Structures are given as C-alpha cells and as structure tokens.
Amino acid sequence: MNKKIALAGPDITQKEVDYVIDAVKNGWYETYDMHIRKLEKTFAEYVGAKYAIATYCGTHALHLATLALELQLGDEVIVTDQSYIATAQAISYVGATCVFVDIDPDTLCIDTGLIRKAITDKTKAIMLVHFAGMAAKMDEIMALADEYGLKVIEDACQMVGGKYKGKYAGTIGDIGTYSFQGSKIAVGGEGGMFVTNNEALYKRALHYGTFCRNDAISFLWSDDVGYNYRISNVTAALILAQVERIDELIEKKKRIYDWYHEFLKGCKQIRLLDIPENCESNYAYVVGYLEDESHITRDELLAKLLELNIHARPGYPSMSAMPNYERRFEVPASIRYWEHGLVMPTALNLDQDDIKYVCIKIRELVGAKK
Ligand SMILES: Cc1ncc(COP(=O)(O)O)c(C=O)c1O
C-alpha cells in the first residue's frame, strides 16, 4: 500500500473552504475580527462556558491561564507527568514550579490518589490533562481543590468535544484550554481557546493576551508586560467551520476507534485503552501499550511500521525526566507509558480498509496468532 497512513490529519469540506474565502475576502476594516468573535461565541455556547478567548495556539491559552491565576515564582503547581511538554512549560513561563504526579495507567490522566501527598504550603493550583480523549477524574480533583483552596486548570487541548459526567471537559475547573493544532480533532493549523465562567479571570486573560493594553487611557498604552496571543481572523474562520462540524468529526473518530478495537481484539501483545467511566470521549486518539508478549520492542515496531508508511507514535517522555525539570515523586506508570506506549494513526482520511491493514501488519510484526 502506497498511501501514507498518517498519525493525524483533518477532515476538510467545502464549508471550511467557504469560511476561509469569506474571511480572506471580507474580514477586513470594521469586520476584521468577525470570525474570531463568532468562533468565541459559538465555542462558549457549545461547551456551556460564559467566556471564551480564541488564541494563536493552545500553549498561549495555557499561558494565559497561569497568568490569569497570578501564579508566580515560589508557587507550586501540581501537574500530570504525562503530556505534551506545553502543559508544563506554561507553568514555567510564570516562574512557578511544576510538581509532577504520576498517571493512572488505565487512563493516562493524573492519578488522583497521588495528588494529596504532593500538596504543600506553596501549592496554588492543579493542572490536569484530559489525555487523548479520556477525562481525568474531575470530581476527585475538584474535591481536593476545595479542601485546600487550590485553583484548577483543565488542559483539554486533546479533548475538544469530550465530556466528564455530562459536562464538557474544560468547563469544570476554573479555566479550560483547548488546541486546534493540525493533529487535533478540529484544526486550524494552529489555534487555541481559553474558557472560564469567572469574569475576573476572563478579563485578566484578555488583558495579558493583548499586550496588557489599557484602552481607558489609550489603545497605545500598556500597563504591564503583555503578549500578542490573538488568533488571526482567517484561522478563526477555518476553526469555526470545524467547530460547527464537531459532532460529525467525533463520529468519524469513533468509527476509527471502534475499528482498531475490533481488528486488534484478542491480540494479547497490544493493549488498547478503553474509555473510562463517566467520560464521553471525543475519540481523538487511539492509545495503548505494547505488552511483554510481543516478539519485537515498541521502537522496533514503530520503525517497521514506518517502513510500511504507517505513522504511529510512542508515548510522551516523562516530563519530569527532562533537563529543565525535577522529579519529586516516582512516576513508574508514566515511565511505562513512555517506554511501551503506542499512539495509533487516526488521521481522518483513513477508512476501514486502512485500519484493517494497519492492524494486520501490527499483528504480524508482534507475532500474534492469525
Ligand atoms: C495536552 C496538550 N497540551 C497542550 C498542547 C499545546 O497546544 P498547541 O500545540 O496548540 O500549542 C497540546 C498539543 O499540542 C497538547 O496535546
């Protein structure tokens, strides 16, 4: 098969093309931000949040979250050990310390049973990740946050459209963040979103994301060191079309998820993760572990798949292993996922035959019975 079996990739229709052309043709002068405003309104209504700020990327939304919560040098933030590094870096941007906590191996989200012992006098917030379409245990996190007076940032960058106990991921804690980077379920190439129900947090985030401008004095006046984290109107138009189609995109991802579970059923060398209790997934990714029964290692498997033009990916490295960070607690589950984790190709241009082909090749390579 010559087709590239891509790890990720979007589903683009005429609607996206039309919205982008509209933005390019008409999104100037007094309508220079019309798609941005519409995107923010549409997204806020969709997830049921009071306020939304569209940003250039998800990392910027995370940085606005740490700025809005006034986290700073000397503060500690409890954060999951497994994520894309942007999660931890947004804590570092404001000088706060990341206190990494291990993951639940079944969901790859923060292990809520380990949070309490990571709390100190300096702890100000918990930053969790809804990992690969699996929701973190928000009830337990919010109960701990209440008990200790901590703020909660939900990194829902991988969870656009997913829910925990009927509520959209990202709307349960103080602040939620989302990404529309090209490998996400809904894309803009780059793109992000900050949501909150708290007006003060919203205003602070807006202020920091627009140079800390003080329009009451002058639109050229700035109160503090701020950032230009605004999204472009053209990108917002593309994301708007995707967000309007989000339920359809989730449906497509679910089909891919179901095919993997069907075609790898009974393959004891691969353990795919199931959607946890209380979670309505967006099925954005299909993740799992290569088990010890495999005839080849995880990295050998990835290399062999690549030779076949099948682009799977390993688990993220443990963030606390990276040179910039320190590890205060052991993180065996995170290390296991780093060493044995697998992310399957789930690009939205893949059909049932493609997924079947990937699964047949995986079965052959790991030495599964026919
Ligand atoms: C969990 C998580 N957090 C943060 C980010 C950063 O988002 P972005 O790439 O849009 O800056 C990503 C994805 O890239 C992510 O997967």
Q: What is the pLDDT of residues 93-105, one digit of tens each?
A: 999 999 999 999 9
Cα 192 to averaged position of ligand 1 atoms, centre (Å): 9
Cα 364 to averaged position of ligand 1 atoms, centre (Å): 33
Q: Are residues 193 and 80 in the same domain?
A: yes
Distance CA 173, CA 195 (A): 10
Cα 181 to averaged position of ligand 1 atoms, centre (Å): 7
On whether residue 338 sits in a domain, the answer given is yes
Query: What percent of the chain stands above pLDDT 70?
Result: 99
pLDDT reading at 135 higher than 80: yes
The pLDDT assigned to 322 comes to 98
The residues lining ligand 1, judged by C-beta closer than 6 Å to any ligand atom, are: 57-59, 83-84, 86-87, 129, 155, 157-158, 179, 181, 192
> 39-56 pLDDT, tens per residue?
999 999 999 999 999 999
pLDDT reading at 2 higher than 90: no
User: What is the position in ligand 1's atom list of the atom closest to the CA of 180?
Assistant: 10
Cα 41 to averaged position of ligand 1 atoms, centre (Å): 22
> Probe ligand 1: pick from 55, 60, 157, max atoms within 8 Å of CB?
157
> 200-227 pLDDT, tens per residue?
999 999 999 999 999 999 999 999 999 9
Q: How many CB atoms lie within 10 A of CB 99?
A: 25
Q: CB burial class (10 A; 0-12, 13-18, 19+) of residue 66?
A: buried
Domain boundary among 195, 215, 244: 244
Domain of 279? 246-366
Q: Are residues 268 and 190 in the same domain?
A: no
Count of domains in the chain? 2
Q: Are residues 266 and 136 in the same domain?
A: no
Q: What is the DSSP letter of 355?
A: H
Q: What is the mean pLDDT of the chain?
A: 98
Q: Report which protein residue has its CA nearest ligand 1's atom 10.
A: 58
User: What is the position in ligand 1's atom list of the atom closest to the CA of 179?
Assistant: 10
On whether residue 4 sits in a domain, the answer given is no
pLDDT reading at 193 higher than 80: yes
Q: How many CB atoms lie within 10 A of CB 323?
A: 4
Domain boundary among 191, 223, 244: 244
The pLDDT assigned to 369 comes to 75
Q: Are residues 261 and 232 in the same domain?
A: no
Q: Give the type of residue at 317.
A: P
Q: Are residues 226 and 264 in the same domain?
A: no
Q: How many CB atoms lie within 10 A of CB 170?
A: 30
Nearest to 363 by CA among 258, 262, 287, 256: 262
User: What is the position in ligand 1's atom list of the atom closest to the CA of 131?
Assistant: 1
Cα 177 to averaged position of ligand 1 atoms, centre (Å): 9
Domain boundary among 244, 264, 285: 244
Q: How many CB atoms lie within 10 A of CB 311?
A: 19
CATH classification at residue 287? 3.90.1150.10
Q: Are residues 50 and 163 in the same domain?
A: yes
Query: What percent of the chain stands above pLDDT 90?
Result: 99
User: What is the position in ligand 1's atom list of the atom closest to the CA of 57?
Assistant: 10
On whether residue 5 sits in a domain, the answer given is no
On whether residue 87 sits in a domain, the answer given is yes
User: What is the position in ligand 1's atom list of the atom closest to the CA of 83?
Assistant: 1
Nearest to 301 by CA among 245, 358, 241, 235: 358
> 252-278 pLDDT, tens per residue?
999 999 999 999 999 999 999 999 999
pLDDT reading at 1 higher than 70: no
pLDDT reading at 83 higher than 70: yes
